[in-house]
Structure 1
Amino acid sequence: MQPTAIIIAIISGLASALLFAGIVLQSSSAVSLALAAPIPIAIASLGWGSTAGFISAAVATAAIYAIAQSVPSALTLLASMALPTAVAGHLVGLARPLADDSPRPLGAANAAPPLDWYPLSRVLMAITLMAIGSCIFLGWYLGFDPEDFIPAVVDALRQSGGAMDTATDDERRAIAQLIIGLVPFVQPAVLAISLIVGLYLGAAIVRVSGRLPRPKDDIPTSAQLPQISLVIFAVAAGAAFAGGTIGLLGDVLLGGFAAAFTLVGLAALHRRTRGRQGRFLVLFSSYAALILLSFPIVLFLAMGIYETWRRPDDPAPTGRN
């Protein structure tokens, strides 16, 4: 490994730690920066190799521990963002020579063989599972119990003013239970999207520099999930109604795969509107509705489930260099 790659890995790890530090230091204004923590690690992994990505993840974890003097804080960054991003970067960089028995042009006999790159659908599946696994691990490690958080949320609602001033304690408690009940579903969804977007932006930055060896993927076509994800989603939906620990696990699985299916649905929208008049207006309206209204997520979730059922995962070659 070249010294330049080690230096880049260390710098990337420190950058990731600084982005995440706002959460550790309890700065509410730094939440958006913390969600960008995977980007530097993705840049190191995709541009300078998998080893650089794992070194970057280790440096980020060590830096957070040095800043906060807290093992839970360091483990939170490692499990939620640093290690999953390094693993995803490693998967994106995997390739093998593609069997090609066709005759080559004269003078090209010594050219590098075409490569079969790790399918983007499998990368999406891996990121989803890692987001779910990290939330389950951190929930177990930190001892997440919904009942423990309800009093704090009730106090926050009491101090928020507005309509909460006239609400009774029972009403505030009901709202607090609803908010806390959504955490196991929302947390893996947000984490999965953050990891995917961070990997995408990291790849875009590295591609501009000319250091990304993987050909540019046709994301609207390649973004899909293996059909086994439908079975997992159905089992999780049933487990979510069981309550207790099983219900919490079901919620986490539902949240992670709901985010992944929604992204598959959005990719299908991009693919289906190609070459059509008014494409920009359709895409703009769809994303605006998602941001402003939220409920259209259900539509794209259903579209992603349909696309996964209709289009089985194809492990065929995804690109050639």
Structure 2
Amino acid sequence: MATILFIGSGAGLVSALLFGVVATLSPLGLLLSYVAPLPILIAALGWSHRSGLVATIVGAIVSAVFLPPAAGLVFAIAVGLPAWWLAYLALLGRTDHAELIEWYPLGRILTWLAVTAAGITLIGAISLGPSYEAYRSSLDDLIRAMVGAELTPALPVDADTEQFVRLVTAAVPAVAATTFVFMLTLNLWLAAFTVRVSGWLPRPWPSIPDTLMARNSLLITGAAGLGSVLLPGFAGLGATAVLGGMAAAFALQGLASIHAATRGNRARPVLLALLYLALLLLSLWIIVVLAGVGVAAVAWRSRKSARTAMLD
């Protein structure tokens, strides 16, 4: 127990420091804030999820003391609790009839990544105003200020600024959730790799290219798509955030499926290098294509599994 408290406290302090440097408003500070969940994930994966929970509590307290008090709550919601939860899922396992541990599937973790990112986005939106109208007004004002400060790409002379603001405001939940999914996934991978190298990772290293999201992920995505169009207020915003998070999860699924499909191909290194280069240069469009590949892979492999089960 003493080790858990010591490791967790240290991880919480480091995580709070990384979280706090964003206040410097420098590019380096922003970059460091993206890896704020990393120490908590390392502590939780290497020394049980209890250590990650201690890190979350310590990090929230430190943030509240040395930053504005509300920063402690922001740290807990956006950094600490998501990191603790993902580490908990990664180490979740059950023993089968042969006394072998069946670890929680990566595909389900991907789905939880999307849902977690959507939850963070929704809570962040609610915090901007007591009502949906107040949220929209606050976000519209922020985007107008960014346009006025030339922090956004220059608009054509004949462009309708208000229409542009409305479009950006509508897209913010999906973009935010997508960003959170990629950020949390990268942190989870880095933490697992670090703990694995140190020899403290309880779970065997999985075959990432063989990741397969569950069939119900397609239903979740379809329901989120409908909800984003039909539901009003924060309910519609939450559905839009889920849609964005699931799109990012399916893009990662598509990337894994391409890795799996090119096994044994002599041109595989070149093909993957071109794919990652395109991902860097044309990130938005490639993410859309990868999401389509991911959806197709889940649908096809789920249908194949269903047919196999029927034949058996």
Instruction: Please confirm whether the aligned pair reaches a TM-score higher than 0.5, indicating the same fold.
Output: yes
Displacement, 1:200? Answer: 1.0
- State the match for 1:118 in structure 2: 104
Displacement, 1:241? Answer: 2.4
TM-score (ref. length: structure 2): 0.87
- Is contact 2:146–2:152 with CA below 8 Å preserved after alignment? no
- Is contact 2:37–2:79 with CA below 8 Å preserved after alignment? yes
Which residue among 207, 225, 229 is the counterpart of 2:217? 229
Give the aligned CA root-mean-square deviation in angstroms: 2.3
1:238-317 aligned at under 5 Å gives the runs 238-242=226-230, 244-245=232-233, 246-294=235-283, 295-312=285-302
Does the residue aligned with 1:116 lie in a helix, a strand or coil?
A: strand
- Is contact 2:119–2:238 with CA below 8 Å preserved after alignment? no
Displacement, 1:18? Answer: 1.2
Moved more, 128-137 or 251-260: 128-137
- Is contact 1:158–1:165 with CA below 8 Å preserved after alignment? no
Q: Deviations over 1:33-85 (max 9, x none)?
A: 111111111100010111101111111111211121222x2222211221111
Which residue among 192, 202, 212 is the counterpart of 1:203? 192
Distance 1:166 1:285, change over 3 A: closer
Displacement, 1:8? Answer: 1.4
Structure 1 unmatched runs, 5+: 101-112, 315-321
> Is 1:179 aligned with 2:178?
no
- State the match for 2:140 in structure 1: 150
- Is contact 2:174–2:245 with CA below 8 Å preserved after alignment? yes
Distance 1:210 1:257, change over 3 A: same
Moved more, 123-132 or 258-267: 123-132
**Higher Rg:** 1
> Is 1:91 aligned with 2:89?
yes
Q: Give distance in 1, aligned partners of 2:108 and 2:231.
A: 31
- Is contact 1:25–1:68 with CA below 8 Å preserved after alignment? no
Overall identity of the aligned pairs, in %: 31
> Is 1:135 aligned with 2:141?
no
Q: Give distance in 1, aligned partners of 2:33 and 2:248.
A: 19
Displacement, 1:174? Answer: 2.8
- Is contact 1:36–1:198 with CA below 8 Å preserved after alignment? yes
- Is contact 1:135–1:187 with CA below 8 Å preserved after alignment? yes
Moved more, 132-141 or 172-181: 172-181
Equivalent pairs counted in the alignment come to 298
TM-score (ref. length: structure 1): 0.85
Moved more, 206-215 or 143-152: 143-152
Q: Deviations over 1:271-303 (max 9, x none)?
A: 011111111111111111112112121211111
Q: Give distance in 2, aligned partners of 1:122 and 1:149.
A: 33
Q: Give distance in 2, aligned partners of 1:41 and 1:219.
A: 22
Distance 1:161 1:305, change over 3 A: closer
Q: Deviations over 1:69-113 (max 9, x none)?
A: 222x2222211221111111112112233322xxxxxxxxxxxx5
- Is contact 1:16–1:41 with CA below 8 Å preserved after alignment? yes
1:93-108 aligned at under 5 Å gives the runs 93-100=91-98
User: AA paired with 2:22?
Assistant: I
- State the match for 2:310 in structure 1: none
Q: Deviations over 1:161-193 (max 9, x none)?
A: 99849746x633333333222211111111112
Q: Give distance in 1, aligned partners of 2:67 and 2:26.
A: 13
- Is contact 1:127–1:196 with CA below 8 Å preserved after alignment? yes
Q: Give distance in 2, aligned partners of 1:175 and 1:165.
A: 9
Moved more, 260-269 or 290-299: 290-299
Structure 2 unmatched runs, 5+: 306-312
Q: Give distance in 2, aligned partners of 1:234 and 1:123.
A: 19
Distance 1:123 1:155, change over 3 A: closer
User: AA paired with 1:233?
Assistant: T
Which residue among 79, 82, 102 is the counterpart of 1:81? 79
**More contact order relative to length (CA 8 Å, sep ≥ 6):** 1
Q: Give distance in 2, aligned partners of 1:180 and 1:29.
A: 27
Displacement, 1:27? Answer: 4.3
